């Protein structure tokens, strides 16, 4: 059975002290792992990653992740961070290909394909983000675009590599806008993504791949989205910055 995951993408928010406070509050409010359906992942900025890793160490089904990594393991890349360094901090996940990285930092599928391999080699589980901008959905090209992102970004992986990663479908028009995809829109795209994976890697791997939804997820809409058969949790931006809201989403899972 595939895992349900609720991951918080903090983006460029929270100092170390604020990170400590938020994670401590969330941990206090979590149900015991045996009663919880979803794995919880915190993805703070790099500066708070070690702090968060040490807070979640030993907590069952709670992990930390980074929001990006470089395509090389070391070298003259001022300002960048390697997957091996993230792993050495104690993190388990890394978000790759978030639409903000694609949009503001010109990350292409070709670059992401390399980052995914570095992350896997380092022992990190990538959370690979895909999703279409509004004009692409309006032109009814959203499935083609997402298929290209997945084929070019991931389909060079071997089956055993692919089995270690997680996908997040985040329609760009829903990120930070308050405009959430309908349950039907989410389910349709998630089922489509799963069918692509099945074609390339077979049904067993497809059925075991966690596909999270992201984009304006809140406690009030998370239950309906997560109840869809192909929606396996959420990648949460704004609502993950507040313990009560993030816990509300985790409990909705």
d(CA 140, CA 137): 5
Secondary structure (H, E, C), 12-65: CCCCHHHHHHHHHHHHHHCCCHHHCCEEEEEECCHHHHHHHHHHHCCCCCEEEE
Coil, strand or helix: which one is 109? Answer: helix
Residue closer to ligand PGA (CB basis): 169 or 201: 169
- Using the rule CB under 6 A, which residue among 38, 53, 130, 217 binds ligand PGA? 217
225 in contact with ligand PGA (CB under 6 A): no
Considering only residues 155 through 174, tell me which ones interact with ligand PGA, judged by CB under 6 A.
170
Residues binding ligand PGA: number (CB under 6 A)? 13
44 in contact with ligand PGA (CB under 6 A): no
Check 142, 170, 190, 245 and give the catalytic one: 170
- Using the rule CB under 6 A, which residue among 214, 225, 230, 249 binds ligand PGA? 214
Instruction: Give the shortest CB-25-to-ligand PGA separation in angstroms.
Output: 19
Residue closer to ligand PGA (CB basis): 201 or 246: 246
Count of other CB atoms within 10 angstroms of residue 210: 19
d(CA 105, CA 16): 24
Count of other CB atoms within 10 angstroms of residue 106: 8
237's tokens: 């931006």
Is residue 170 part of the annotated active site? The answer reads: yes
235 in contact with ligand PGA (CB under 6 A): yes
187 in contact with ligand PGA (CB under 6 A): no
Residue ranges in 91-182 assigned as alpha helix (H)? 99-104, 109-122, 134-138, 142-154, 159-162
- Using the rule CB under 6 A, which residue among 175, 196, 212, 231 binds ligand PGA? 175
Is residue 184 part of the annotated active site? The answer reads: no
Binding positions for ligand PGA, rule: CB under 6 A:
9, 170, 175-176, 214-217, 235-239
Active site residues: 98, 170
């Amino acid at each position: 059975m595939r895992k349900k995951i609720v991951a918080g993408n903090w983006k460029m928010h929270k100092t170390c002290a604020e990170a400590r406070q938020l994670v401590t509050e969330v941990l206090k409010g979590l149900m015991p792992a045996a009663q919880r359906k979803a794995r919880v992942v915190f993805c703070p900025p790099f500066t708070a990653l070690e702090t968060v890793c040490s807070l979640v160490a030993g907590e069952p089904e709670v992990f930390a992740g980074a929001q990006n990594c470089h395509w090389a393991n070391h070298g003259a890349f001022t300002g960048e961070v390697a997957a091996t360094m993230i792993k050495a901090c104690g993190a388990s996940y890394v978000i790759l290909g978030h639409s903000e990285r694609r949009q503001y930092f010109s990350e292409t599928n070709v670059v992401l394909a390399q980052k995914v391999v570095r992350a896997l080699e380092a022992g990190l589980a990538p959370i690979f983000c895909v999703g279409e901008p509004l004009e692409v959905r309006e032109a009814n090209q959203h499935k083609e675009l997402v298929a290209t992102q997945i084929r070019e970004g991931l389909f060079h992986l071997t089956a055993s590599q692919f089995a270690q990663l997680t996908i997040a479908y985040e329609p760009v028009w829903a990120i930070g806008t308050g405009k959430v995809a309908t349950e039907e829109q989410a389910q349709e795209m998630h089922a489509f993504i799963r069918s692509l994976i099945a074609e390339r890697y077979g049904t067993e791997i497809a059925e075991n791949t966690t596909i999270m939804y992201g984009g304006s997820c809140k406690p009030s809409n998370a239950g309906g989205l997560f109840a869809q058969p192909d929606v396996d949790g959420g990648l949460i931006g704004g609502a993950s910055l507040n313990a009560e809201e993030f816990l509300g989403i985790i409990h909705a899972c």
